[in-house]
């Protein structure tokens, strides 16, 4: 049997609180956990921070994970699904990393290697198996303890930097950032997106896609997606795509307008093949996780709190964020 990490019934009404507010509550619970740990001269961990995040964001965020008895058979990464009322959903496979070190010697180890190989390679492989993008959930700790880390548009009372205690960074970006490990923590802080900002997209970034939009090779549905503000699952996908596209425009290789058919499961069946310096075409990597309907195991998790064995053996659990 599986157990829900929160004692609510999977079908319970999530109430009026927005997903953004729920994720903010989760982030504040993580901040409290870190603060109390440091006050007690104890270290804090990514695993417990993830539990605090999900518990604090309930009931709009539901977590399904194996029972203690089964933990020896599961993976270490969390499979997130952002689920809209109309069934459109966006999945991403997330690995947690926390900030280490002191000012001038900050570290986030994207190059970690275990007996099975480089962790980032394993994350990308598993994400490909699930048909979702690979991301990192970054725990940066309390704002007053990382004042040396700043975003691109930092201000005296920077809301974004405060929210960045719990952030998301695509593995495509992390793979490039890892090439300069001494600067990885600071650069990841600049490029990451606070988790609570993912369900909202204001479309100020549409200029990133000017060449592709003018080329005429994009499908009408994808053009519309890139030209309009998004909410919920579509917003989460668009925000992550925008982040990678922004870094892409800083690379010197020419933009490819070639496209590829990606099948019927993703919301868009034809996507650009542009790759830049990334290890995979970034449209395909990110948008393969955006679907018209959730996988069957997601619906089973919502209704019964159960997961098939092949999912249990690959991930630490499934997180369903209802928009």
Question: How many domains would you assign to the chain?
Answer: 1
**In the chain, which residues have pLDDT < 50?**
1-13, 69-73
Enter the pTM of the model: 0.90
- % helix / strand / coil in the chain, to the nearest 5? 40, 20, 40
Determine the pLDDT at residue 72: 46
Determine the pLDDT at residue 24: 96
288 phi, psi to nearest 5 deg: -65, -20
pLDDT, tens digit (0-9, with 9 covering 90-100), for 7-43: 333 334 455 579 999 999 999 999 999 999 999 999 9
pLDDT, tens digit (0-9, with 9 covering 90-100), for 226-278: 999 999 999 999 999 999 999 998 887 777 778 888 877 889 999 999 998 99
Domain that holds residue 203: 2-322
What residue spans of 40-144 are helical by DSSP H? 46-57, 119-130
Q: Distance (Å, rounded) from C-alpha 308 to C-alpha 69?
A: 15
Determine the pLDDT at residue 156: 64
Determine the pLDDT at residue 6: 37
Determine the pLDDT at residue 290: 98
**What is the enclosing helix (H) or strand (E) of 193?**
strand 193-194
């Amino acid at each position: 049997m599986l157990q829900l990490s929160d004692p609510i019934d999977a079908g319970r009404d999530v109430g009026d609180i927005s997903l953004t507010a729920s994720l903010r509550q989760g982030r504040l619970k993580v901040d409290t956990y870190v603060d109390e740990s440091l006050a007690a001269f104890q270290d804090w961990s990514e695993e417990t921070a993830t539990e605090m995040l999900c518990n604090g964001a309930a009931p709009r965020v539901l977590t399904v994970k194996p029972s203690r008895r089964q933990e020896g058979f599961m993976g270490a990464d969390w499979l997130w699904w952002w689920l809209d009322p109309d069934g459109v959903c966006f999945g991403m496979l997330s690995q947690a990393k926390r900030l280490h070190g002191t000012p001038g010697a900050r570290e986030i180890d994207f190059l970690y290697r275990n007996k099975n190989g480089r962790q980032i390679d394993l994350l990308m492989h598993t994400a490909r198996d699930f048909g979702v993008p690979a991301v990192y959930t970054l725990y940066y700790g309390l704002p007053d303890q990382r004042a040396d880390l700043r975003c691109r548009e930092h201000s005296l009372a920077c809301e974004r930097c405060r929210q960045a205690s719990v952030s998301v960074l695509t593995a495509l970006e992390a793979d490039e950032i890892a090439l300069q490990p001494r600067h990885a923590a600071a650069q990841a802080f600049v490029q990451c997106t606070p988790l609570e900002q993912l369900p909202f997209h204001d479309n100020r970034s549409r200029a990133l896609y000017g060449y592709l939009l003018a080329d005429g090779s994009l499908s009408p549905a994808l053009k519309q997606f890139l030209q309009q503000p998004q909410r919920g699952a579509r917003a989460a996908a668009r925000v992550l795509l925008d982040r990678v596209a922004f870094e892409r425009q800083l690379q010197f290789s020419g933009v490819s307008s070639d496209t590829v058919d990606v099948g019927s499961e993703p919301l868009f069946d034809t996507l650009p093949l542009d790759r830049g310096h990334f290890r995979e075409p970034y449209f395909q990597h990110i948008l393969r996780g955006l679907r018209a309907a959730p996988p069957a195991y997601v619906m089973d998790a919502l209704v019964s709190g159960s997961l098939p064995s092949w999912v249990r053996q690959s991930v630490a659990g499934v997180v369903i964020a209802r928009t």
